[in-house]
Structure 1
Amino acid sequence: MSFVLIVALGLAAAAVVAVFCWGVYLFTKQSEVAGDISLAPPKPKRPSTFILNRITELIGRPFVGAVKELVGPEREESIRLRIEAAGCPEGLTVERYLQRKVGEILLYSTAAILLLTRGQTMLAMLALCFVVLTDADLLLKTRQRQDDIQRQLPDFLDVLAVSVGAGLAFRQALARVADSMPGTLADEFRIVLRQMDLGTSRREAFQALRQRNSNEALGKFVTAIQQSEELGAPLSHTLLNIGQDMRRQDAQYMRRKAQRLNPRVTGITAATMLPGLLLLVGGAMILGSGIDFTGVLGG
């Protein structure tokens, strides 16, 4: 009887421990808990920054004040437009951009000089290429955003035309379509709406939209909107006509893009297949010539 009691107590203790561990697991794993016990809203996550960019920002931070005086307001405005055109990657600002550029010049130039003193010219040239790391990243992201805008614009305009034709005001329809069709183009129009909420006129807000983006189709859309506002033309018909034109331009844009890719594909194909083809043809010719390799090699 005492043995049975000891076993029962042991099993009960094990069950209590198991229930306790399971409760701790559910409490710490928020995805499986019915509700969050904390009332405070989650803190917004700061965009992650590439480790090399963090290092260059730390290096260039002491010099940013002097660099801003040398750059001047016009150059700062140009940098700001470039950053906005790239979508402000990693929460980049003009000040952080200047920090990165100074840090890149100091860090990678010093590394290149050290490599040159050791006679490693190729590695020195590779280190110097990292001086334009931030500019190359901005250029790449700007092109990607413009491609996204070109692809999203026709569908966005069709839905916007239907919303305006249903009786919604242009501003309200623009906000609703931007919320229902998230993407790069929707983010740009949210910026326009935010600027208008802060007191900017519609013409100035759309003009700033055109300055931020080099996409030709988007520029034509802004021009058509401004002309429709000045001439008093029905906005829904204007949007439908613009949407049809955008689809034709999008097809032409994709054809031009495919034509630009053809030489690259040809070059990559030639670079990868040509060595193997030469080896195959050369090997076949040598084997078919009947040369006695044992005599040549002295075997």
Structure 2
Amino acid sequence: MDNWIPRQTSFMENANFILLGLFNHTGAHRFLFVLVLIVAFTSLVGNALMLLLILLDPRLHRPMYFLLSQLSLMDLMLISTIVPKMAVDYLTGRKFISPAGCGFQIFFFLTLGGGECFLLAAMSYDRYVAICHPLRYPVLMSWKLCLSMILGSWLLGAVDGLMQAAATLNFSFCSTHEIDHFFCEAPTLVRLACADTSVFEYVMYICCVLMLLIPISLILISYSLILAAVLQMHSNEAHKKAFATCSSHISVVGLFFGAAIFIYIRPKSYRSAKHDKFVSAFYTIFTPVLNPLIYSLRNSEVKGALRKCMDQWHCLKS
């Protein structure tokens, strides 16, 4: 009986995947680990605050802010899907993840990441209508259209996540189950498959092209039309405000889409596991902290809602 227990434990461990993680236990990596936790916590607080403000303040009950609330919700869920598991693995040294857990990570990550791609495109359309056609905004950006865009974003992301998670875990894997990453990501996991994955990689490539290039094309078209409309205005103040807003939005979009394209559309021969996991860390951990700062907390109406909420809290406290 004593000899049987270790063999059974060994079998269970070998049936799981092993996440090698992002950091080792050197002093510099401990500092980076703490920095990642601070950024993740800041992201959670910032996005949760945005959700709370939009929910409580009636002035923010408009399509633009409803889209922002969904962006905050996606970022909250994305951080919660990736960071807690990574932190527990690093602190405890137990880096095992079951095939089911790996499948759930792939599904939620792609659902949220893919959904955010289309949501950012919807937000760029909202800004185009608000700036270029303000009088027709209630018609061109109705609540019905807003809800359809949001549901479509979640649905397209979920379909992509479900297909890739199911297809990835359907492969037979070689004896080594070590994943050189800090979470289960489909391109990294496919490298461990013993079977021929060329057809799956081709289909995944087509899906990623559609999920990434279509939204970013719509975003670029929307902001190009916004800039063209702004250049026709005669107010220098309007020019500065519009350029500042558009440049900050495009910067965040460029960072998010650029990192995703680097991971999913880059040719296989140019891929490096070390580079991939650091780029993945950038757009799964650092980009979500920028979204509430760039899209929301710089907005005068959001800042007004925050001041009102703080005043009410001080009144209750006193």
- The verdict on a shared fold, with TM-score over 0.5 as the criterion, is no
Q: TM-score, normalised by structure 1?
A: 0.26
Which fold has the larger relative contact order, with Cα–Cα distance below 8 Å and residues 6 or more apart in sequence? 2
Q: TM-score, normalised by structure 2?
A: 0.25
